[in-house]
Amino acid sequence: MLHLGCGQDSRFWRVDSGEVDWYDLDLTPVIELRRRFYPEPERYHLIASSVTDLDWMAMVTANGRPALVVAEGVLMYLSEAGGGAPAGGDPGAATRAGLESGLPVTAGAAWAAG
């Protein structure tokens, strides 16, 4: 399972089958924030990278098994010109602000509010 632009999504912790290798990829500040909240068991991998910096491809393997790639709510931040810079500034800012406020909001709610 490869989740591009994972944000603070907690899907691994909700639907993990106990068998998959799971990769969550996002920009470095977002991954650093994740590391404050989520442990990293053996089959779970965090990748701090822009989706447009293709070096991350060397960090993932399906080990010959079927792969599912999810790019949910991220493609609109990528430009055809390249670079992958978010169109509207720092895309993780709203999520971080929501979590650091101590308010009982989900990452999705914090994002929507931003």
Ligand X SMILES: C[S@@+](CC[C@H](N)C(=O)[O-])C[C@H]1O[C@@H](n2cnc3c(N)ncnc32)[C@H](O)[C@@H]1O
The binding site for ligand X (CB under 6 A) comprises 5-7, 9, 26-27, 30, 50-52, 72-74, 77-78, 84, 86, 91-92, 108, 111
Name which of 63 and 90 has its Cβ closer to ligand X.
Answer: 90
Q: Which is nearer to ligand X, 20 or 84 (CB)?
A: 84
Bridge partners, residue 46, by sequence: 24
The minimum distance between CB 60 and ligand X, in angstroms, equals 14
Direct distance between the N- and C-terminal alpha carbons of the chain, in angstroms, rounded to an integer:
28
Residue 21: CB minimum distance to ligand X, A: 19
Q: How far is the CB of 71 from ligand X (least distance, A)?
A: 8
Phi, psi of 82 (to 5 degrees): 95, 180
| Residue (73 or 105) nearer to ligand X, CB | 73
**Side-chain-facing half-sphere of 89: CA atoms under 13 Å:** 3
Nearest-CB residue for ligand X = 7
CB of 64 to ligand X, least distance (A): 26
Hunting for tokens 């993990």 — which residue is that?
16
Q: Which is nearer to ligand X, 63 or 107 (CB)?
A: 107
Tell me the residue ranges of DSSP E strands in 37-89: 44-48, 69-71
Query: Which residue bears the tokens 């290798």?
Result: 21
Contacts of 39 (CB under 8 A, 6+ apart): none
